[in-house]
Amino acid sequence: MYITRQLAVGFTLALASFASQAADAYVFAYFTGNGEDGLHFAGSADGYKWGKLGGGRSFLAPGVGNAKLMRDPCIMRGPDGTYHMVWTSGWNENNIGYASSKDLVNWSPQQQVPVMAHEPGSLNAWAPEIVYDDKRGEFLIFWASTIPGRFAATDGSSEEKYNHRMYFTTTRDFVTYAPTKLYYDPGFSVIDASFVRANGKSYLMVKDETRNPPKKYLQIASAPDLRGPFGKLSAPITPPGLWVEGPTALQIGQDVVLYYDAYTTKHYGAMRSRDMVHWEDVTDKMRFPDEGTPLRLRHGTVIAVPEEVLGKLQ
């Protein structure tokens, strides 16, 4: 059975493309607070010093889902230059949000995509990510969900009733979606999976959401194909003892810069690597707007964009 949703075809949104692309600047798509007022952007010329765009205003207010939230925005650029965005539309819903744009300013009507409607007992659909699979000519969307009792061996390892695994669907046109399937099960409660392409290879970044005992760190695995199989997970790459989420990364020059939301200490951090094995903490080299305040950056996506796109957002 296929999920279908009609969307206006003249628009499409995104921030970055999974494939590497020439760009003159960088944009960070993020939310603030609980995601009530929607999509925010920060801009940077070097990927280290970030400033609010549009005076810090919301560029798109949430309009779908019961909770009407826009958390964890993920944007990518499709082969035709259209930007596609997916987001978490509520804490306890079985759908995600989708919209598109040509310039990150003007947006298509928002769509509610019921990715977990076939599992009426599912608790959530968190932090969806979207990438383009050029091998198959389709878009791949994946997210974290808990289906109570589905992975009994790790029940009780996360907060409350949660015990997440990654699920996915695919689409070519954002009208028809393939049936949802299990995407990634590393043997523990996992959320916030995200891809980065670096030095000609692809890597999957994930957060271990285990609470008992506390882990809450990021790891990476090589990904010869977007569908897997995924390689062995690395040792934790984020600072010891720091609870983090929402990884997003891209290659800047010779370095891969990985950004993360250190949500318990209310700041954004960053790691840097040239070989995806050895990582340097470069948080002290970063400048993010509104750090430590309710308006600070929350879990988002960083992408490379042409300078004129950044200019429109400013």
On the question of pLDDT at 24 being above 50, the answer is: yes
Average pLDDT over residues 232-251: 97
Confidence of residue 54 (pLDDT cuts 50, 70, 90): very high
Of residues 1 and 61, more confidence is placed in: 61
- Helices first, then strands: H and E counts in the chain: 1, 21
* Tokens at 152, concatenated: 């009994």
- DSSP structure class, residue 22: -
User: Looking at residue 23, what is its pLDDT?
Assistant: 59
On the question of pLDDT at 63 being above 50, the answer is: yes
User: Looking at residue 43, what is its pLDDT?
Assistant: 97
* Tokens at 61, concatenated: 């207010």
On the question of pLDDT at 26 being above 90, the answer is: yes
Average pLDDT over residues 78-94: 97
User: Looking at residue 20, what is its pLDDT?
Assistant: 38
On the question of pLDDT at 9 being above 50, the answer is: no
Q: Do 161 and 120 form a contact (C-beta atoms < 8 A)?
A: no
- List the CATH code of the domain at 3-313: 2.115.10
User: Looking at residue 199, what is its pLDDT?
Assistant: 84
pLDDT in tens, 171-223: 999 999 999 999 999 999 999 999 999 988 999 999 999 999 999 999 999 99
pLDDT in tens, 249-292: 999 999 999 999 999 999 999 999 999 999 999 999 999 999 99
On the question of pLDDT at 7 being above 60, the answer is: no
Instruction: Write out the H or E segment, with its range, that includes residue 198.
Output: strand 190-198
Q: Do 146 and 164 form a contact (C-beta atoms < 8 A)?
A: yes
* Tokens at 287, concatenated: 């400048």
Residues 6+ apart with CB under 8 A from 175: 4, 5, 6, 7
User: Looking at residue 19, what is its pLDDT?
Assistant: 36
User: Looking at residue 125, what is its pLDDT?
Assistant: 98
Torsion over CA of 101, 104, 107 and 108, rounded to 10 degrees?
A: 20
For the chain, percent of residues with pLDDT exceeding 70: 93
Residue for token digits 């996992």? Answer: 190
In this structure, the chain runs to a length of 314
For the chain, the average pLDDT equals 92
For the chain, percent of residues with pLDDT exceeding 90: 89
On the question of pLDDT at 17 being above 90, the answer is: no
